[in-house]
Amino acid sequence: MFAIVNIAGQQFKVKKDDELFVHRLEGNSGDKVEFSEVLMTSDNNGNVKFSGSAKVKAEIMDHLKGDKVIVFKKKRRKGYQKSNGHRQYLTKIKISDIA
């Protein structure tokens, strides 16, 4: 069984016991969270439902920062170079139930 769920503005295909990284969520490690914006569910027989009545329950595993992203701009023969970068704040969650 899997579900397509909207988490923090992004859509993810999730199954039970999946671990995934999403944009930073409110809460501490070990807290339970519930996502009610489920776009689609499918059972093991291949039956697909496009109803919003399902809920996905998850547990926050950890808060961390992603890999560094380097943004480098250059205009050739003009002497212009600009370097910038950032690290995205992420939350690792584990899907506990799809109901």
Q: Is the pTM of this model over 0.75?
A: yes
pLDDT band at 84 (very low <50, low <70, confident <90, very high): very high
Strand order in the sheet with 38-42: 10-15, 2-7, 38-42, 48-49
- Per-residue pLDDT, 67: 97
Cα 96 to the center of its chain, rounded Å: 15
- The domain ranges of the chain are 2-98
- Longest distance between any two alpha carbons in the chain, whole Å: 62
**pLDDT tens per residue across span 28-73:** 999 999 999 999 999 889 899 997 789 999 999 999 999 999 999 9
- Per-residue pLDDT, 52: 74
